[in-house]
Structure 1
Amino acid sequence: MTHGLDVDGLKIRAAASCDAPLFAALHASCFVSRESPEGIGRWNENEPWNESTMAQFIAGPRTVCLIAAIAGDEPVGFLIARAAADEAELLTIGVLLGHRKRGIGQALLREAVAVLRPGGIRQLFLEVEETNTPALSLYRGLGAVPVGRRPGYYENGADAAVLRLDLQARP
């Protein structure tokens, strides 16, 4: 799980029901700004998801909720994906600003794939604002391919790129 990571002691675990407040706080911290602090695009989220929403995801059937933590169990990232039939959708993924570009997002996605694949999931779909270059690079770097576009999908009028990651072909 640590291949290509620039993070010592990264741990990824499944979320428990008691993690809903943590998930809400991470989501708010990752998506608090409409503009990327690095000047590389706008984030997709309109409002942070609250504890109740996060609790529903964590308790949901066929939902994968992961937390990434580093030294001393400091939470630095999270992922939520939901499966239906033989497909899954990445609902959200985030890494705290000071920990980006170190492979944490990649590790979270790889772990999600490892959890989803044994359940018969064949494809993972990912939507992202077309100007979110870091997310597009992350997804494409793992083998995701563009399969569609949703014009005006986001509240700010931005278009969404739709990508698909084939889970059965991955080693």
Structure 2
Amino acid sequence: MPVEIHISRAGPYDATAMAAIHRTCFAKPWDAAAMAQFLASPDVLCLMGSVADSSGGIAGGMLIARRAADEAELLTLAVAPACRNAGLGTALLKSAMNLLREAGAVRLFLEVEEGNEAALRLYRSLGGEPVGRRPGYYEGRADAAIFSLALSPPAADDGACQQEARPSIHAQGRDERKPA
């Protein structure tokens, strides 16, 4: 079943929804007050993502990244379980990469739990390379892999591929949770 993905910048009114999404994904979630602090910071990029199909739409993903000079750090990326496998995480991260690049960042760093296979696949699929480890970084003493993603300008379009959609434009995806 085809789904429509929409990515937009989050605003102050999104703090509660961001906290609700974060709560579905993490054992120690950030609350609405923490989200409001990120939203109020000028060097922080906050994105919301939603998916819609013929039965309606739902805000199901969020991303927070912070930029300092020419580097950026992905602070969190969360996709609610009901919205997974529709391309929402990929769309959020690609949008963030484009916006951070436009803001002058050339590299994005992030930590990911070494056992989070879905996140590892996503980061590697976008050119992420492991650059280090943080032993015992996560609750339960799980290790974190540190990744770096280059945010270099996209290659010149020779007509062989299409330009990626802007974050404010809808992207079409395929819902892989159900057979086509």
**TM class, shorter-length:** 0.7 to 0.9
Task: Report the secondary structure of 1:9's partner residue.
Answer: strand
Which deviates the most, 71-80 or 139-148? 71-80
Listed as ranges, the gaps of 5+ residues in structure 2 are 156-180
Distance 1:57 1:20 in 2: 9
Q: Which residue of 1 aligns with 2:19?
A: 24
TM-score, reference length from structure 2: 0.80
Q: How much does 1:27 deviate?
A: 0.5
Letter in 1 for 2:45: V
The answer to whether 1:133 aligns with 2:117 is yes
Q: Which residue of 2 aligns with 1:159?
A: 143
TM-score, reference length from structure 1: 0.84
Determine which structure has more spread, i.e. the larger CA radius of gyration. Answer: 2
The answer to whether 1:8 aligns with 2:15 is no
Q: Which residue of 2 aligns with 1:102?
A: 86
Task: Report the secondary structure of 2:140's partner residue.
Answer: coil
The answer to whether 1:85 aligns with 2:77 is no
Task: Report the secondary structure of 1:161's partner residue.
Answer: strand
* Larger relative contact order (CA 8 Å, sep ≥ 6): 2
Q: How much does 1:98 deviate?
A: 1.9
Q: Which residue of 2 aligns with 1:57?
A: 38
Task: Report the secondary structure of 2:85's partner residue.
Answer: coil
Give the paired residue count: 152
Listed as ranges, the gaps of 5+ residues in structure 1 are 1-5, 32-45
Whether the 8 Å CA contact 1:7–1:70 is kept in 2: the answer is no
Q: CA RMSD in A?
A: 1.5
Whether the 8 Å CA contact 1:64–1:80 is kept in 2: the answer is yes
Structure richer in strand, relative to its length: 2
What is the percent sequence identity of the aligned residues? 51
Distance 1:170 1:88 in 2: 18
User: After superposition, what is the alpha-carbon deviation per residue over 1:44-95, rounded to whole angstroms, capped at 9, x for unaligned?
Assistant: xx41101110000011111111111122552011111011111101001011
